[in-house]
Every structure is written in C-alpha cells, then in structure tokens.
C-alpha cells in the first residue's frame, strides 16, 4: 500500500531554498532529467532523488518545499502523471525517459515510460521543448528559448510575465499548427499547456520579488541548466489550483482557442468537441480516468488493480473539493 499524499506545508512563507543542504550538482550521465524544468531543478538540488526516480509522495513534498506549489495542485498533477507514466507496483516514476530503475513493467498496453512519454501527459506546443513529431519532446531547445526571450523583450520589457505568456502560448500553438501534421491539442494537454505557461510566473520568480516579472537569465537557469539562481527564495504565495486557474484565464482570454488538432496535414486544425475545455473541469478528470488511464490498464487485476484504485482515490482528493463526481473504482 503506497503512502498517502503528504498534506500542505505548515509554513508557506517565502524562504531561502537554495541553501547549503541543497547544493546544485549537475546530473551524472546515469541521472535522469526530462521535460519539466521544475522537477529537473528539484532533482539537481537534492529536493528529489538526484537520479531522477521518485515516488509520488516525494514529488509532492519537493514541489511544496522547493517552490511553494499548493497541495491541491501538487497532488492532482503528481498523481495524474504517476498514473500514466509511473510504475504502480514499485511506486516509482522517472522524471524523464523509460528506465528499468522503476522496476519490472506490468503487461502492455501499460507504458510506464516516465514523463517523456508522449500523449498521455506530455504534449505538443511546449514552451522550450519541441513536439514529439520532430524527434525530441524533452530536451531544452535553444531556438525556442531564444524566441521566448524575444517575446519577453517585445511584450514584457525584457521579462517573462503573464502578458508575454499569453502571446507566447498562442505563438507556440500557431507554430505547431503550421509545422506539425500530427499536432494534438486536446485534454489533458489543452490544460497543461496553459498551466505550464503560468508556472514560470508562479514559481520561478524569487519570493522577495512581488512584481510578477521573471528575469530571463533566471529563466534560462531553470529551463536549461535546471538550477536555482544564487540565494533563491521560493515564492511567498502558495499557488494551487485556484491561483493557477486565475493565471490561465489571463493567458487564455487574449487568444482563445478550442481543443482540437491537425488531421495529418499541416494547417488542418480541426476542433474536437469531445475534449474537455475550461468550461468543464470535471470532464478533465472524468475523461482522464475513463479514457487515458483505462486504456493503459484495460484488464488490471490483483495487486495492480488495487494499486490503480488506491492511486485513483488519491488523484480524486483535490477534485472532490471542487464538487466533481468520482469515477467508480475499476473492477
């Protein structure tokens, strides 16, 4: 039986997190890093195991401690990723590529491929990572980061903020529509794309600074090197589902777009009315469980079925508070 998710921090104040107990150590060749600069940074500072293999509870602790992510968001995102990318029996998740370090795999169609796995959680039109179609969905991409810098110069007087995020999020979508014949932009990616555009503003800005402007040298440190800037204080605001949803509105409203995708040809973006969108958050949860998770574990039984249902229960926790109806346990 896996540990239940940790609760919220007692002290959510801004404080030094790049402290002597958490030095930056560049990853060894065998250490795993992936598409998430937040988790990569926590691993390279020892808030997560430096090898890049962690339990859900370790991830929740680390994102709260290191970045002051709110408990509801930490629990929701972590179990979402763990359910589709992690090993439910050993309780381990790779924050990057597939590895035998997470233990023996359950039978296919389960993937247990780590956070790099395309289309179950990771998706297209990322901020500084290319689309899987082009061959690498997880490495820092200098061309994309340069474009982010130029948008920050143009729309943010040199810093990344929510106005820049709105412009850049739209640009990344337009870019994928125009270049990736397999571009997909439906739930859950529809949500995570907007969330990841808000995260740098919520979590990468020093907690002693309250103007919402992310310095681009600091940004490069997180996105590319996976390091805190010197003397980094975590945010003094605990950003959970409510705070990130408010940021998402600011990013979405200037350039609204419906969920959809290209049809095998560039510039063929077609709306998908079956996808959850921002008007129906409970459908994000319901479809993720019934479609995404279920498709990986259509016939689970025994210990695997038990672990699946236990983790689905943990995943539902933050959603219960929003008034969504729980999907019945798998049988």
Contact residues: ligand HEM, CB under 6 A: 35-39, 59, 63, 67, 69, 74, 77-78, 81, 115, 121-123, 126-129, 192, 196, 199-200, 203, 223
For ligand HEM, the closer CB: 236 or 305: 236
Q: Which residues contact 309 (CB under 8 A, 6 or more apart)?
A: 329, 330
For ligand HEM, the closer CB: 181 or 305: 181
Q: How far is the CB of 122 from Mg ion (least distance, A)?
A: 5
Six token digits for residue 98: 């597939």
**Whole-number Cα distances in Å, 170 to 52, 256, 258:** 31, 8, 12
126 binds Mg ion (CB under 5 A): yes
For ligand HEM, the closer CB: 246 or 303: 246
Residue 77 touches which of ligand HEM, Mg ion, none (CB < 5 to 8 A by kind)?
Answer: ligand HEM
Nearest residue relative to Mg ion (C-beta): 126
**Whole-number Cα distances in Å, 166 to 161, 217, 231, 261:** 9, 20, 29, 20
For ligand HEM, the closer CB: 79 or 328: 79
Q: How far is the CB of 131 from ligand HEM (least distance, A)?
A: 9
Exposed e or buried b for every residue in 193-209, given b needs 16+ CB within 10 A? Answer: bbbbbbbbbbbbbbbee
Q: How far is the CB of 52 from ligand HEM (least distance, A)?
A: 12
Q: How far is the CB of 129 from ligand HEM (least distance, A)?
A: 4
For ligand HEM, the closer CB: 224 or 305: 224
Residue 69 touches which of ligand HEM, Mg ion, none (CB < 5 to 8 A by kind)?
Answer: ligand HEM
**Helix ranges, 98-254 (H):** 142-156, 162-179, 189-203, 216-220, 241-252
- Identify whether the C-beta of residue 113 lies closer than 8 Å to the C-beta of residue 97: yes
Q: Which residues contact 263 (CB under 8 A, 6 or more apart)?
A: 270
How many binding residues for Mg ion (CB under 5 A)?
Answer: 4
Residue 74 touches which of Mg ion, ligand HEM, none (CB < 5 to 8 A by kind)?
Answer: ligand HEM
128 binds Mg ion (CB under 5 A): no
Distance CA 120, CA 45 (A): 27
> 84-123 mask for Mg ion (x: CB under 5 A)?
--------------------------------------x-
- Identify whether the C-beta of residue 326 lies closer than 8 Å to the C-beta of residue 288: no
Exposed e or buried b for every residue in 57-66, given b needs 16+ CB within 10 A? Answer: bbbbbbbbbb
Distance CA 225, CA 206 (A): 17
Q: How far is the CB of 39 from ligand HEM (least distance, A)?
A: 5
Residue numbers at the binding site for Mg ion (CB under 5 A): 122, 126, 129, 137
């Amino acid at each position: 039986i896996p540990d239940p998710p940790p609760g919220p921090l007692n002290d959510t104040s801004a404080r030094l997190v790049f402290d002597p107990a958490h030095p930056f150590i560049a990853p060894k060749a065998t250490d795993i890093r992936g598409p998430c600069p937040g988790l990569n940074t926590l691993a390279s500072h020892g808030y997560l195991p430096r090898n890049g293999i962690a339990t859900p509870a370790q991830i929740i602790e680390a994102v709260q401690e290191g970045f002051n992510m709110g408990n509801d968001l930490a629990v929701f995102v972590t179990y979402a990723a763990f359910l589709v990318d992690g090993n439910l029996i050993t309780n381990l998740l790779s924050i990057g590529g597939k590895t035998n370090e997470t233990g023996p795999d359950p039978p296919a169609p389960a993937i247990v491929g780590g956070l790099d796995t395309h289309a179950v959680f990771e998706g297209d039109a990322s901020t500084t990572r290319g689309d899987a179609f082009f061959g690498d969905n997880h490495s820092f991409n200098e061309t994309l980061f340069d474009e982010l810098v130029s948008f920050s110069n143009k729309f943010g007087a040199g810093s990344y903020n929510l106005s820049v995020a709105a412009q850049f999020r739209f640009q990344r979508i337009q870019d994928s529509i125009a270049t990736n014949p397999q571009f997909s932009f439906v739930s859950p990616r529809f949500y995570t794309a907007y969330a990841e555009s808000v995260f740098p503003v919520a979590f990468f800005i020093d907690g002693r600074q309250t103007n919402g402007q992310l310095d681009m040298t600091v940004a490069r440190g997180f996105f590319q090197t996976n390091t805190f800037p010197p003397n980094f204080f975590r945010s003094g605001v605990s950003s959970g589902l409510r705070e990130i949803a408010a940021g998402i509105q600011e990013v979405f409203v200037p350039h609204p777009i419906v969920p959809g995708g290209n049809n095998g040809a560039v510039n063929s973006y077609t709306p998908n009315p079956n996808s959850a969108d921002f008007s129906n958050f409970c459908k994000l949860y319901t479809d993720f469980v019934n479609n995404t998770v279920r498709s990986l574990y259509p016939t689970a039984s025994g210990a695997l079925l038990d672990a699946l249902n236990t983790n689905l229960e943990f995943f539902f926790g933050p959603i219960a508070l929003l008034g969504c109806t729980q999907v019945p346990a798998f049988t």
